[in-house]
Amino acid sequence: MKELHLISFNYPYPPSYGGIIDVYYKIKALAEIGVKIHLHCFVDDIPETVDQEVKNITESVFFYKKKKNPLHYFSKVPFAASIRTSDTLFENLMSVKAPILFEGLQTTPIIRRLKNRGCSLYLRFHNNEAEYYKGLSSSEKNIFKKIIYRIESLKFADYQKKLLKEFNAVFCLSEKEFNDVESYSENAQLIHIFHGNRTVKPLTKKGDYFLFHGDLSISDNKRALEETITMFKALPQYKLVVASDRAGDDLKKKISNIDNISLVPIETRENLHRLFEHAHANILLSYQNSGTKVKLFNALYNSRFVIINQNITDDKTLTKLCRFGSTSDEIRQQIIETAVQDYNEYETRKDILERNYSDDAKAEEMSKIIFKD
């Protein structure tokens, strides 16, 4: 019997944003090939019940409350990691002898207690956290948050340099993360994002609007939206739909004053897919170079044209499936050109995506590495 402890930085349901999408669909894909998952989640508040969708794909589920003491900011360990510690987690890990998969460096402080216990330790390297927080600091306008993010970046730079060698394998999302890990250690494995899409959706040649979607509590997404709004204000002939469940009052007010831009909630995966289905093109921009964004797979599988800048993916095959612009002027030109084009890329996408980027194949590959003995 193949059993696996999986320690998640948050409860992976609903799978509504980047890292959690990878966690949830990884669990689902591993469960479907017979791996029994013992799921351990760090959360702000422990939920009263476990969603049936999670029960269906796990053997057991445990919750641990994240620490809330602000003194953790003064720890040498990065704040995101220092708040995710638990004696009960250690006891639960010891109760079932199985390999342990850490979802992100922020879940790894307990590794010091596991070193001499003969545990097989694996890491899903979601981000180069040092670069991620450095990017957040650059995009953030609030001076206090800017400083906090910069300090966190420096802490993670030291933390990951010391820790990455401790794992049997480090599973990287993209070429960039793979190369980052290889520069520290020689245990990197490239396994792309688990995204939950199985088939490319066949669609008509024309959609109704351009779509921007994302978590607008994240400074990088807010900056990307500001840039997108600026472009569409200068292109009043084209309609832009902004989809998010986390839009502030200032943004709502700003968008309400622009005739060709509207803001809608996402709320459910079904609603998001409906938005994809009716979009003619998707605008995906980022100012952080952190490998392939999971939102790219969602758009490529479920919508029509996808317009990106250089930070959405470092995968050359995926880039070829998109319209690319490295500057605002180039992106603006792509908007103008795709607006009048018919979408005829279904067969090409189906062949490339379903053959090379399926969750099933990634689960099999990961399982072979973890359970090689």
Question: What is the CB neighbour count within 10 angstroms for residue 66?
Answer: 18
**pLDDT tier, 138 (very low <50, low <70, confident <90, very high otherwise):** confident
167 and 217 both lie in a single domain = no
Handedness of CA 341, 346, 348, 354 (dihedral sign): positive
Structural domain includes residue 100:
yes
Q: Please report the pLDDT score of residue 348 as a whole number.
A: 97
CA geometry: angle at 174 spanning 167 and 357, to 5°? Answer: 110
Domain count, the chain: 2
Question: What is the CB neighbour count within 10 angstroms for residue 291?
Answer: 25
- Give me the residues paired with residue 50 across strands: none
What pLDDT digit, counting tens, does each position of 204-249 carry? 999 999 999 988 988 889 999 999 999 999 999 999 999 998 888 8
273 and 338 both lie in a single domain = yes
Phi, psi of 271 (to 5 degrees): -65, -40
330 and 347 both lie in a single domain = yes
Largest CA distance in the chain: 64
176 and 220 both lie in a single domain = no
Q: Map tokens 């999408």 to a residue.
A: 21
What pLDDT digit, counting tens, does each position of 10-26 carry? 999 988 777 899 999 99
What is the strand order of the sheet 121-125 is part of? 60-65, 36-43, 3-8, 100-103, 121-125, 169-172, 188-190
- Which residues form the domain of 323? 209-354
pLDDT at 373 over 60: no
Q: Please report the pLDDT score of residue 350 as a whole number.
A: 96
226 and 98 both lie in a single domain = no
pLDDT at 98 over 80: yes
219 and 305 both lie in a single domain = yes
pLDDT at 181 over 70: yes
Structural domain includes residue 202:
no
**pLDDT tier, 268 (very low <50, low <70, confident <90, very high otherwise):** confident
**Mean pLDDT, residues 339-349 taken together:** 97
DSSP assignment string, 55-102: HTT-SEEEEEEPP--GGGGGSSS-HHHHT---HHHHHHHHHS---EEE
Write the CATH number for 165.
Answer: 3.40.50.2000
- Which residue, among 37, 39, 41, has the nearest Cα to 4 in the 3D structure? 37
**pLDDT tier, 136 (very low <50, low <70, confident <90, very high otherwise):** confident
183 and 237 both lie in a single domain = no
52 and 180 both lie in a single domain = yes
pLDDT at 371 over 60: yes
* 196 Cβ neighbours under 8 A, 6+ residues apart: 15, 21, 24, 25, 28, 359
173 and 244 both lie in a single domain = no
Phi, psi of 279 (to 5 degrees): -80, 140
**Mean pLDDT, residues 29-39 taken together:** 98
* Helix residue ranges per DSSP H, the chain: 18-32, 52-55, 79-82, 87-95, 111-114, 129-139, 143-163, 175-184, 219-233, 249-256, 269-278, 294-302, 316-320, 328-339, 346-356, 359-370
- Which percentage of the chain shows pLDDT scores above 70? 99
**pLDDT tier, 132 (very low <50, low <70, confident <90, very high otherwise):** confident
Residue 56's Cβ-count burial label (10 Å; 0-12, 13-18, 19+) is exposed
In the chain, the amino acid numbered 169 is A
Phi, psi of 257 (to 5 degrees): -95, 5
300 and 203 in contact (C-beta within 8 Å)? no
**pLDDT tier, 174 (very low <50, low <70, confident <90, very high otherwise):** confident
Question: What is the CB neighbour count within 10 angstroms for residue 243?
Answer: 21
Structural domain includes residue 138:
yes
Structural domain includes residue 311:
yes
71 and 116 both lie in a single domain = yes
168 and 83 both lie in a single domain = yes
- Which residue, among 267, 338, 270, has the nearest Cα to 304 in the 3D structure? 338
**What does pLDDT average to over the chain?**
93
Task: Count CA atoms closer than 13 A to 246's CA, side-chain side.
Answer: 11
pTM listed for this prediction:
0.84
- Rounded distance between C-alpha atoms, residue 217 and residue 370, angstroms: 35
Q: Which two tokens stand for residue 317?
A: 């095959």
261 and 349 both lie in a single domain = yes
- Look at 6-15, 67-76, 161-170 and tell me which has the smallest mean pLDDT: 67-76
Structural domain includes residue 201:
no
pLDDT at 52 over 90: yes
**pLDDT tier, 177 (very low <50, low <70, confident <90, very high otherwise):** confident
What is the strand order of the sheet 279-284 is part of? 261-264, 240-243, 209-213, 279-284, 305-308, 323-324
300 and 351 in contact (C-beta within 8 Å)? no
Q: Please report the pLDDT score of residue 63 as a whole number.
A: 98
Task: Count CA atoms closer than 13 A to 40's CA, side-chain side.
Answer: 25
